[in-house]
Structure 1
Amino acid sequence: MKSPSNIMRQSSLTKLGSMINTAVNKRAGNGDIQWCFSQVKGTLEDDVTEADIISCVEFNHDGDLLATGDKGGRVVIFQRDPISKNSIPRRGEYNVYSTFQSHEPEFDYLKSLEIEEKINKIRWLKRKNPAHFLLSTNDKTIKLWKVSERDKRVEGYNTKEENGTIRDPACITALRVPTIKPMELMVEASPRRIFANAHTYHINSISVNSDQETYLSADDLRINLWHLEITDQSFNIVDIKPTNMEELTEVITAAEFHPAECNVLVYSSSKGTIRLCDMRSAALCDQHSKLFEEPEDPTNRSFFSEIISSISDVKLSNSGRYMISRDYLSVKVWDLQMETKPIECYPVHEYLRSKLCSLYENDCIFDKFECCWSGTDSAIMTGSYNNFFRVFDRTTKRDLTLEAARDIAKPKTLLKPRKVCTGGKRKKDEISVDCLDFNKKILHTAWHPSENVVAVAATNNLFLFQDKL
């Protein structure tokens, strides 16, 4: 028979073990993460101009840099604060590192079309040297940018003065040895390559291949493959343009390379399908290797069925085994080994199903929400209206509705889960579906590759949240 002291010891050990497990699970994203406010960047809402609206958000591969693009064609890069990174517990705080004008407005005289400067996508390349490289694109032109630091300058040139003017050779009487002097740190962004004139329609996606030598760009009807060193030619690998445009039934909405297999890519369509292509089977990937499609439930069929089934974003998991697709009302998780139906489906804002008519009238039904994976693939995040964003835990199957609002803008303030009620009676902390602000929408989100730090773009503000350890 066990003595009471042994039982108590065993009980306390069990408790300690469960506490450790809970902490580990919470860190890994397997338990219920408690989110707290970290930072907000951007102007107050009264000063919002169209150009300030954030149009894309992207962490680099180690999460030390975070880039945003806006409708004014600017790219702002934030750098992780070294103190916040090494503090215990860690904090997810970022400071402005570099700001540059990536794209300017253009005019296509042949088609009498204005080309907006708005940045549609940013993608980082893996770091190979002290400099950072990223791709940014508007509707027509992709640019490769080099972002580098300079904290030293050369003085004592023989052929030019310190201000850069060329010296008269007749005045040079002695040979000087140039010296390197320290200077204030300067971050320079310079365009290294410009990839233009390859897309007839608006570019909606760019994705860097795992070989770090090639990348793809996709528009409504075609996907092109580029080499990072070659700007004047690209290979058309997918072309769904029909001979007669009146026969057009779908458009490409998003495309992405597999994170590990350089020959595999996926692209989604406005028909709610995802096609997986293998570039080893043919140079032109019009014949897909796999087609992921969920059969439609005839009981849910309505006038809006086709619009809400259009996939606005597709993302492969970090492991490469799964992918998520975002349509208007839900996020679906697919196993690459199973084409017939998704293995998980999470409703994002099912309460809007009864509001589809008014959402169609105000064009909100055409909003393109993005989605993203956590670093461990155990959770998914996507946006909604009223500055709400949703986090789904794949392990516990629990979900959270959180709000990106300035009234909680104090570091370490815990985020209260929000609830939307559809019935007549409303509880204290709930908000009625009729009170939602459809002008405040979170379309762009990003999750740190190795920590529970998330970036959420709410109109012109960038919110950073982290887990409460």
Structure 2
Amino acid sequence: LKSLEIEEKINKIRWLKRKNPAHFLLSTNDKTIKLWKVSERDKRVEGYNTKEENGHMRDPASITSLRVPVIKPMELLVEASPRRIFANAHTYHINSISVNSDQETYLSADDLRINLWHLEITDQSFNIVDIKPTNMEELTEVITATEFHPLECNLFVYSSSKGSIRLCDMRAAALCDRHAKLFEEPPDDPSTRSFFSEIISSISDVKLSNSGRYMVSRDYLTLKVWDLHMETKPIESYPVHEYLRTKLCSLYENDC
């Protein structure tokens, strides 16, 4: 048996909609997802009848008068406490999480699978995407990110290392092995295609607009804006770090 050390880091943070004075968020490292409650206090109660200021309980026999507790200001105190821990559902490293618009479920994705969770259930999740081939030598792409639709709780997208984005509908099947839409650019001209073409086309993250009409994807050298009604090409493409295009060979050799 091999024991793998899980690095102390946070891969993704996603906030839940606020329902009370406290904030709730999901965080994930490579293997474990946690639901946190974040709250702040700037007031404290003093003057309890049965408790001293140092926290010790008073002897009831020594209480000779009734005190009315009072609220006093204090230095702002921010507290974060884990409320739930969701673990042991991913074989590979988790790369993204996304909270559903219903605020009851969320997605978690690793290189080959996407799981659907309920925020109230920590020991069970449902596998809704599985791209692991029977023979791992036939693996041609991995999942890089996933995101729920901001308005339609049954729709979600996920991106891949091949530069494609798939839109799936959970109403179609329990296992979303068939996409409803596929967003990808036309193939490169063979005369301009290079060794690095596939590497730099890998999508690192994807995000939908608040209206759910548009989608933004980021690969190594570009930021692309997609219209969900048009799968064939992005409506806008913005170069990022264009100066690196001539240095790809050096970056590759140095494993950047």
Q: Same fold (TM over 0.5)?
A: yes
Question: 1-side partners of 2:48 and 2:88: how far apart?
Answer: 41
Greater than 6 Å deviation, 4+ residue runs: none
Question: 2-side partners of 1:342 and 1:185: how far apart?
Answer: 47
Whether 1:355 and 2:243 are equivalent positions in the alignment is no
Give the TM-score of the pair, scaled to structure 1.
0.51
Q: Deviations over 1:107-129 (max 9, x none)?
A: xxx53211011111111112121
Q: Percent identity?
A: 91
1:345 positional shift: 2.1
1:158 positional shift: 4.2
1:358 positional shift: 0.7
Aligned partner of 2:21 in structure 1 is: 130
Question: 1-side partners of 2:101 and 2:113: how far apart?
Answer: 21
Question: 1-side partners of 2:103 and 2:218: how far apart?
Answer: 27
Q: Deviations over 1:424-452 (max 9, x none)?
A: xxxxxxxxxx99xxxxxxxxxxxxxxxxx
Question: 1-side partners of 2:181 and 2:199: how far apart?
Answer: 23
Whether 1:278 and 2:169 are equivalent positions in the alignment is yes
Instruction: Please provide the CA RMSD for this pair.
Output: 2.5
Question: 2-side partners of 1:274 and 1:141: how far apart?
Answer: 25
Q: Deviations over 1:255-309 (max 9, x none)?
A: 1111111111100001111110111111211211111121232122221122111
Q: Deviations over 1:339-359 (max 9, x none)?
A: 122222222234433321111
Query: What is the number of residues matched between the two proteins?
Result: 255
Residues 73-88 of structure 1 mapped to structure 2, 5 A cutoff: none
Unaligned stretches of 5+ residues in structure 2: none
Aligned partner of 1:156 in structure 2 is: 47
1:243 positional shift: 2.1
**1:168–1:351: structure 2 CA closer, same or farther, 3 Å change rule?**
same
* Residue 191 (structure 1) aligned to one of 79, 82, 95: 82
Question: 2-side partners of 1:230 and 1:317: how far apart?
Answer: 29
Question: 1-side partners of 2:96 and 2:4: how far apart?
Answer: 21
Question: 2-side partners of 1:320 and 1:250: how far apart?
Answer: 26
1:176 positional shift: 4.9
Give the TM-score of the pair, scaled to structure 2.
0.90
Deviates more, 1:126-135 or 1:174-183: 174-183
Question: 1-side partners of 2:88 and 2:240: how far apart?
Answer: 38
Aligned partner of 1:309 in structure 2 is: 201
Question: 2-side partners of 1:182 and 1:352: how far apart?
Answer: 54
Question: 1-side partners of 2:38 and 2:241: how far apart?
Answer: 39
Question: 1-side partners of 2:92 and 2:233: how far apart?
Answer: 31
Q: Deviations over 1:188-224 (max 9, x none)?
A: 2222222222111111111111111211111111111
Q: Deviations over 1:9-32 (max 9, x none)?
A: xxxxxxxxxxxxxxxxxxxxxxxx
**1:336–1:165: structure 2 CA closer, same or farther, 3 Å change rule?**
same
Q: Deviations over 1:392-448 (max 9, x none)?
A: xxxxxxxxxxxxxxxxxxxxxxxxxxxxxxxxxxxxxxxxxx99xxxxxxxxxxxxx
